[in-house]
Structure 1
Amino acid sequence: MRKKSTTEFQTRLWEAVNAIEQDSRVEVVVVIRPRSEHYRDIALLWGIVAAWLSFTYLMFAPELFEDWLIYDAPLFAFVVGYLIANIPCLTRLSIPQARLRRNVEIIARALFQKGGIQHTRAKTGVLIYCSWLEKMVYILPDRGAEMALPAEEWQTLRAGLQSVFSGGEPRERLLEQLHQARPLFNRYLPPVARDMNELPDNVEIDL
């Protein structure tokens, strides 16, 4: 069921992107990733704190413990803390928002360059990058698209895309935002005759 749901969403996503490209000169690429960084340092920190708390309790508790427990309990606590820290919501809460935003922007810009989104003839490529763990969406337009739309329109578009994670059903909200962007791009970058689709909608970019 999960695979079927994912495939259905992917199909609807391609249809939404294709509709934008049919009605405008914009070349939209949507990339969705589970996370922008592994944040292993956060998991290590959780493990170290858990091991330290465990060892402190064993050393200062009024009860007497076997020697093996004093050695093994902190190791076990470290593993538990490390695993718990990998729960997405706890990882996200353990990291400053500035770091989350910076990592999302870095990956988005890397995807933009490596994916060749800047190579369209009219410079109208637009990357929409969704990072699930960080719950952030970063939109990166090429200069042709950026200059065609007024700054306030880009601000509205960015705010709408960022609201994807503000409620339930982020996939549905993403599709909704894409549908709302369609007339906006059509207004400022209407289609021209013999316009080619220069970027694949399902581009795979390895970093």
Structure 2
Amino acid sequence: MRFTRFVRHMLVPSWRVDRAFTPEVMAAIELAVQDSEARHRGEIRFAVEGGLDFPALLQGVDARSRAVDVFAHLRVWDTEENTGVLIYVQWLDRRVEIVADRGIARRVPQADWDAVCRRLEMAFREGRYGPGAVEAVRAVGELLAGPFPARGDNPDELPNRPVRL
């Protein structure tokens, strides 16, 4: 475990994340998810997490494995067509991961998800938290609209509200 990572996760207060992801930013993300889901049959969840806890740090949990855990915890997999997608932000490590359910993973290449992650990380480096997150949700929606276009019966199976972990 890198000492600087450990110190950062243990000492940076959680309110630092709240300064970047204000209620207005979270509302904009929620609206972007809602608008996006009107154009496809996928279900998008957005989760942002500040620091990891002590046991996770000792185990060397990285952003990808944490994203998979959050995907399961938020039940993003629990959709009729297996079309759930999680955009996970590990704020202190400045990492973004997208986890797509098996119905989507077969139809959208991993390289496309990775490209969205890197663009969002770049926006965050520039301090564009709200606009970057909204752009990422829209990009995920575009990737979903091709193989999973909306139909007349397009239920909203998962909450649109972003989660602050």
TM-score (norm 1): 0.61
Aligned equivalents of 2:162 and 2:57: distance in 1?
31
Aligned equivalents of 1:181 and 1:41: distance in 2?
29
Question: Aligned-residue CA RMSD in angstroms?
Answer: 2.8
Alignment identity in percent?
23
Match of 1:125 in 2: 84
Task: Report deviation, 1:13.
Answer: 0.6
**Rg larger for:** 1
Match of 1:11 in 2: 27
* Structure 1 residue 177 corresponds to structure 2 residue 100: no
For structure 1, list consecutive stretches of 5 or more residues without a partner in the other structure. 43-98
One-letter amino acid of the counterpart of residue 51, structure 2:
R
Q: Indicate conservation of the 8 Å contact 2:46/2:163, yes or no.
A: no
Aligned pairs for 1:15-94 within 5 A: 15-38=31-54
Paired residues in the alignment total 146
Match of 1:149 in 2: 108
Moved more, 173-182 or 125-134: 173-182
Match of 2:7 in 1: none
* Structure 1 residue 158 corresponds to structure 2 residue 113: no
- Corresponding residue SS for 1:129: strand
Task: Report deviation, 1:153.
Answer: 2.4
Alignment deviations for residues 74-100 of structure 1 (CA, whole Å, 9 cap, x no partner): xxxxxxxxxxxxxxxxxxxxxxxxx5x
For structure 2, list consecutive stretches of 5 or more residues without a partner in the other structure. 1-17
Match of 1:193 among 128, 137, 152: 152
Aligned equivalents of 1:178 and 1:159: distance in 2?
13
Task: Report deviation, 1:167.
Answer: 2.0
- Corresponding residue SS for 1:24: coil
Aligned equivalents of 1:162 and 1:37: distance in 2?
22
- Corresponding residue SS for 1:157: helix
